Structures are given as C-alpha cells and as structure tokens.
Structure 1
Amino acid sequence: MDEISTGSMLLLLLFLILCSAFFSSSETGMMALNRYRLKHLAKQGHKGAKRASKLLERPDRLLGLILIGNNFVNILLTSLATALAISLLSDDSLAVALTPVILTPIVLIFAEVAPKTLAALNPEKLAFTSSIILKPLLVLMYPLVWLVNWISNIVVRMLGADPNKMDGDSLSQEELRTVVHEAGGMIPKRHQQMLLSILDLEKVTVEDIMIPRTELIGIDLEDDWQDIVEQLANTQHTRIPVFEGDINNIQGIVHARNALHLLAKGRFTRDTLMQQMRDAYFVPEGTPLHTQLLNFQRKKRRNGLVVDEYGDIQGMVTLEDILEEIVGEFTTDTASLDKGVHPQEDGSFVVDGGISIRELNRLLSLTFPEDGPKTLSGLITEYLEEIPEQGTSMRLAGYPVEVMQTKDNTVKKARVLPELFDEAKAKQFLDNR
C-alpha cells in the first residue's frame, strides 16, 4: 500500500473514532438531560431544547438510532484497522492479533470514556448540538430503526416487560421533597422550608393544630350580661363563638368588631348580638390541612369548629393556624407567642397539658409520637392508662416527665426535660422531684 493510501486510511480511522465519540457522547448527553429543565427551556422557545425534547418523546427510537450508528461505526473501524495492520505487517496472523490489542484502549479512551464523561458533565451543550445531526439522521434511517425496535420489542415482551409502558416524568411526594432538599442555594433555605411544609399539609389533620375545646374562649349567653360586655371589651380574638350553656349548643360566630361597634353605640343587646352572628362552620375531625385550606377558600371562611363523629365540638381550627404551618409564626401577640411553654432554671420546661404534641415537638425540638393522642395531657394519660396524680413521674419517648397539676380528669401542667438523659441521670432527676 502506498503512502497516500495509508495516510487516507489513517485519516478515515480518525474520522470513524470521532463518529464513535459523537454517538457515545450523544447517548450520555441525551439521557443525562434534566427533563424538567428541558421542558422549561422548550417552553421558553429554545431551539436545541425543542429538538432534544422531540427526540426524547420516543427514547427507544433515539437509542436505536444511536446504537445502530455506534455499532456500525465501531465494526467499520475494526475492519479498517485490521486491513491497515495487514498492509503494514508482513505477518497476517500477527496483524490480526495486534489490532484488537492496540485498537481497544484507543476506542475505550477516545470514543467511549472521555466523550461520555464530557457529556455527563455538560449534557445540555452536547445534547442540543448533537440533536442537529440526530434529528435528520433519524428521518434518514427510520426504516432500519423501526425494524430494529420492532424486533427488540418482541424480545422485551418475551421477557415479561411492556416496551410501551414507560415511566413518566412525574415525581412522587418523597421524590419532590428530595428535589427541594437538593436545590441548595438555588432556593433560599426559608423558601425550602415553606415548600416542605406545603408537602406536609397532607399528613397533618385539623386535630393536630386546632385550639382544643378546653381552651376555647366564647360567649355564653347564660352568663351575666355585664360579664359578657367586659369579655368583649377585653377580648384578644377577632371571631368569637357564641353558645348557650354548653359549647355544643353553639348559636353562631360573632365578629368582635361588629359587637364592639354595637357596644360603642349603646345598642348592644341579646337581640342585636344574635343579628350580628354568622352561622358556625363545622369541620369533621380527621380532615387533612390541605383539604381544609381549600375548603376555607371555597366557603370564604376563616375558622371552623372541629366536630367528632357524634357531632360534639372538639376544638376550633383557623385559617391563620394553617398558614402558620406553612410560613411559621407571624403573630406579634405575646399571649400567642407564649404557647404554654415556660423555661425553668434547671433546664426543664413547665408545659400546659393542653398543648398539642406537634406544637411541643416543634418548639422544643422533641420527638414525642404524633400518631396517637394530640395533646400532652392525652399522651400522659394514654401511657399511664389512668388519670395521674400530682407528682407522678415517668419517661415518655425517652424524656423525663413529671405531672405537676391535674384538674377535671386532665393534666393541666407537666414538667418536661428536653434532653435525652442516660438511665442513671434520668432516674436521679425523677427521684429528686
């Protein structure tokens, strides 16, 4: 073989290696594209994103095209390299033996590993560029691609899989949670927490955040009228339930502003109060927060009375409580900020028994179980299986707890240590109470 033909073959070998690298990098680049970013760019009118998105609508055809091209190039590359080796060496057997030894590392490095690594690091740049060639190439080779896919799909079906059933791009809730966590600096930490809180709304029910019945503040029409006037004049609440004798005998909800307006004009009577009331809105217990948020929006309400299966009122849930689950506390009312948790000098906390387990865990970073009783009082009572006496000590979820006050068959106050102590220290703490 003369010098010119040998040089031509070397140039052709180099071209084939570049073609192999193109197909290898195209495969990795296309498959490594972020599908959500790709959809966003395509909607923004990015031409490369549109081409890549169109090709990825049928990934089986795209892979078929790339693999056909890559295998064809590699086979041609091997044949040409063997022919070149035979022409350069007098021993044909030696040429055939040396060709794979020399060609394999060259193809592996320059046509596989290096281009695929580069494509994995810069998938968009390589995928969008390669789509310029892949799109017309798919049209040109469509009959062969279709035939290869048809045969391979038969094999896939024989193995018990459905080639037409491809996993969509939809994300589960836990996968979306991971995406938010992995967003890093792209989403501010505060916004990440808000997004995660929105995802948690489905897991939390109205009982977890409601104001329990024992802490509801309302107007009892059987009270002395002067006491009702004083209660309205000093109330810190905007919407107040009105009942007669018992909270279950609810008459309606009155807006404090309207009642105070009547009071200022000297026209505050039982009849005018009843006229200003709005019918109470009832919420079944067990309602998830995301559902209740939509119900508040649809019914144009800001609060609702939570009722059990017998229709008895269990507490009140407000729109503000749900929003605080998403954005955190935003009230400036000192009474609301108290939350019934009082720090002590010894590192413990005196906690109101009616506080919700969810709120207590959030305030003190504790891990009391939230899938059972909703209040600390209920959790203690369930654990002891009786109404505890003052001074009773125990360990709940590993935390030392002491009952400080009981009243009306409930725990009114308890002392909680927010740290998990070892057995000896916990025993010493409980023995000293």
Structure 2
Amino acid sequence: MSDDHSRNGSQGKSLLDKIANFLSGEPQNQSEVLEILTSAHRSGLVDSEALGIFQGALQVSDMQVREIMIPRAQCIIINAGAKPEEYLPPIIESAHSRFPVYGDSSDDIIGILLAKDLLDLAYKGKLEKTPLKDLIRPATLVPESKRLNVLLKDFRQSRTHMAIVVNEYGKMSGLVTIEDVLEQIVGEIDDEHDFDDEYMIKQAGSNEFVVKAVTPIDEFNEHFSTAFNEDEYDTIGGIVLSHFGHLPKREESVNIGKYHFTVLNADNRAIRLLKVSQNHH
C-alpha cells in the first residue's frame, strides 16, 4: 500500500512539474502540451470532454479554411436583381440565416443577405419595392489558406459570423461560418435547422438521402433494403468509417456495395452526417 502511495505521489508530482513548466512559459511544442493534457486526463484532473476540446483547439491552429469550408456547389447564392418570388423559395427551403449575394456574375459577390432583414419588410408589405442591393451587408473575404485560429479571432473582433472563401484568382470557392470553426473544437453544434432527432433518414432528392451517422444498422438496412452486419458495428457511421480506414473530412466519399456515401459533416472526433445515393457504376 505504501508502495502504491509512493508511486501515485511520484506520478502526481511529475504531472504537476510538467504543468508548472508549461505555465512558466518555457518552450513547448504541441506534442508536449498534448502529453501534459493526456496525463492530466489519466490522473482524473481533466475529463474526456475537456480533453477533446483541448485537442480540438490545438488542431484548429494547424488547419486551414479550405479543410472545413462549405464548397461553392453546396452554397445558395442570391442574385442582387432577383425578385422576392425568385429568392424567397430557396431561402425558406434551406432555413439558413445568411446568403452570399452576387451582382453582374456569380463570381461578383457584393455582400451578404441576412434572412432576418426580410422579415420586417415582408410584415410591412414592402418586400416587392425594396431592391436587395439596399439590404445587403458587407461581405468578408478570406483566402482558402487562412488558418482557422486566425479566422476565429477575426470573427470575434469583427462580430461577423460568415466569410466568403476565395481561391488564388479571387473567385468564390466556398463559404465558412463561425459555427464551422467552433465545431472543430467542441464537436457538432445542433441548431434549429438540423432535422428532428426522431428522424435519422431524410430524403433530399429522387435518389439522395441525408442520413445521420448514428443511425442504427437495422434501421438503415430496413430503409435501404441492405444487409449490413449488425454484429460488428452498431451504426452506419461505424461501417462507413471502417471502409475509409481513417477519420474522413467533409466531401470525402466511398462506395460500399451498391451505395455511394459522402461525408456532409464531420468534426475532429466523428462522422456526423452522410449523403447516401445509389451507386450506378
């Protein structure tokens, strides 16, 4: 018993020494920081959730905007000359709060439209007479190579929530929101736009479905008439992850049997959302 006590005391002292050295400002690299945090987790000083957040925060400093941006092909952009009957349907259907607005061409992003700015006008019956150009807010442009920790700092200082991502030619290649950055640190952030918890599978097109990665294998098999083994994995996300062989990022895809799986949402710990379509190849 005394040996155990001595050994535990030695471990505790070693951990405290590491933390003290870290706080004293001595040179440290990320691997040493992670070692300290992992030791603290093993010693019960830091819980699993806190450790995950620390790891996510460190990872963000090594990531670039291009790794988490929503690709342009998936963005809803609004023409500045569009009439309410043209721009309202996609805005309502998507249930997003912010939309890039373009001018003469789709590469000419002139600002951001906030859906909430339309509400008062609609209530007062002034929507038809108000040009979108009078409603748009300035757009923040960031390069694909911008580091996420710097972007997060910029978001906080400017109090903006969305930025247009541009490539080396200054053309829009996607968009990124403050939520996208925070999800890399704390995991997926649910909001009122995520489809209800009671639904695991949602049809998104004639041959496309959006599927939560936590969908149980038996529920997925029943819906898609598949025969995935329920003994090896509990969820469809587990099966998809095993076929990737690594934790995939957004837009990575893989064929499994007759179905094509594309990652719609993933953070630094798990796959969150999948797009499933029938593989015709």
Structure 1 CA distance for aligned equivalents of residues 190 and 135 of structure 2: 27
1:35 aligns with 2:17: yes
Q: CA deviation at 1:298?
A: 2.3
Q: Are the structure 2 counterparts of residues 285 and 39 from structure 1 closer, same or farther at C-alpha, using a change threshold of 3 Å?
A: closer
Structure 1 CA distance for aligned equivalents of residues 257 and 34 of structure 2: 34
Amino acid at match of 1:226: E
* Structure showing greater Rg: 1
Aligned counterpart in structure 1 of residue 26 of structure 2, from 151, 169, 184: 169
1:273: which partner in 2? 132
Amino acid at match of 1:176: V
1:317 aligns with 2:176: yes
1:375 aligns with 2:251: yes
1:240-273 Cα distance to aligned partner (Å, 9 max, x none)? 1122464312221011111121111111146453
Higher relative contact order (CA 8 A, sep 6+): 2
Structure 1 CA distance for aligned equivalents of residues 76 and 39 of structure 2: 44
Aligned counterpart in structure 1 of residue 36 of structure 2, from 145, 155, 179: 179
1:385: which partner in 2? none
1:34-61 Cα distance to aligned partner (Å, 9 max, x none)? 4355579xx9xxxxxxxxx9xxxxxxxx
Structure number with higher helix proportion = 1
1:133-162 Cα distance to aligned partner (Å, 9 max, x none)? xxxxxxxxxxxxxxxxxxxxxxxxxxxxxx
The answer to whether the 8 Å contact 1:404/1:413 transfers is: yes
The answer to whether the 8 Å contact 2:143/2:166 transfers is: yes
Q: CA deviation at 1:239?
A: 1.2
2:51: which partner in 1? 192
- Gaps of at least 5 residues in structure 2 are 1-9, 202-208, 213-219, 230-236, 262-274
Amino acid at match of 1:275: D
Structure 1 window deviating more from structure 2 (231-240 vs 275-284): it is 231-240
The answer to whether the 8 Å contact 1:207/1:374 transfers is: no
1:290: which partner in 2? 149
**What SS is found at the alignment partner of 1:240?**
strand
The answer to whether the 8 Å contact 2:19/2:36 transfers is: no
- Gaps of at least 5 residues in structure 1 are 1-27, 44-52, 54-167, 349-359, 378-395, 406-411, 417-432
1:212: which partner in 2? 71
**1:243-258 equivalent positions in 2, closer than 5 A:** 243-244=102-103, 246-258=105-117
Amino acid at match of 1:206: V
**1:341-420 equivalent positions in 2, closer than 5 A:** 341=211, 343-344=220-221, 345-347=226-228, 364=241, 366-368=244-246, 375-376=251-252, 400=256
TM-score normalised by structure 2 residue count: 0.65
Structure 1 CA distance for aligned equivalents of residues 183 and 94 of structure 2: 22
1:94-120 Cα distance to aligned partner (Å, 9 max, x none)? xxxxxxxxxxxxxxxxxxxxxxxxxxx
Q: Are the structure 2 counterparts of residues 270 and 281 from structure 1 closer, same or farther at C-alpha, using a change threshold of 3 Å?
A: farther
Amino acid at match of 1:301: T
Structure 2 CA distance for aligned equivalents of residues 293 and 317 of structure 1: 11
Structure 1 CA distance for aligned equivalents of residues 177 and 149 of structure 2: 13
Q: Are the structure 2 counterparts of residues 224 and 34 from structure 1 closer, same or farther at C-alpha, using a change threshold of 3 Å?
A: closer
**What SS is found at the alignment partner of 1:169?**
coil
1:10: which partner in 2? none
1:166-194 Cα distance to aligned partner (Å, 9 max, x none)? xx833210111111112121111101100
Amino acid at match of 1:179: I
Q: Are the structure 2 counterparts of residues 236 and 182 from structure 1 closer, same or farther at C-alpha, using a change threshold of 3 Å?
A: same
**What SS is found at the alignment partner of 1:334?**
coil
Q: Tell me the matched-pair count.
A: 224
Q: Are the structure 2 counterparts of residues 312 and 340 from structure 1 closer, same or farther at C-alpha, using a change threshold of 3 Å?
A: farther
The answer to whether the 8 Å contact 2:80/2:133 transfers is: no
1:355: which partner in 2? none
The answer to whether the 8 Å contact 1:217/1:240 transfers is: yes
Structure 1 CA distance for aligned equivalents of residues 252 and 14 of structure 2: 50
Aligned counterpart in structure 2 of residue 241 of structure 1, from 100, 125, 139: 100
Q: Are the structure 2 counterparts of residues 239 and 176 from structure 1 closer, same or farther at C-alpha, using a change threshold of 3 Å?
A: same
The alignment's C-alpha RMSD in Å is 3.9
Q: State percent identity of aligned pairs.
A: 26
Structure number with higher strand proportion = 2
2:121: which partner in 1? 262
1:334: which partner in 2? 194
Structure 2 CA distance for aligned equivalents of residues 269 and 234 of structure 1: 20
The answer to whether the 8 Å contact 2:165/2:175 transfers is: yes
Structure 2 CA distance for aligned equivalents of residues 33 and 334 of structure 1: 42
Q: CA deviation at 1:295?
A: 1.6
1:303 aligns with 2:179: no
Structure 2 CA distance for aligned equivalents of residues 340 and 374 of structure 1: 14
Q: CA deviation at 1:282?
A: 0.7
The answer to whether the 8 Å contact 1:303/1:317 transfers is: yes
2:204: which partner in 1? none
**What SS is found at the alignment partner of 1:247?**
coil
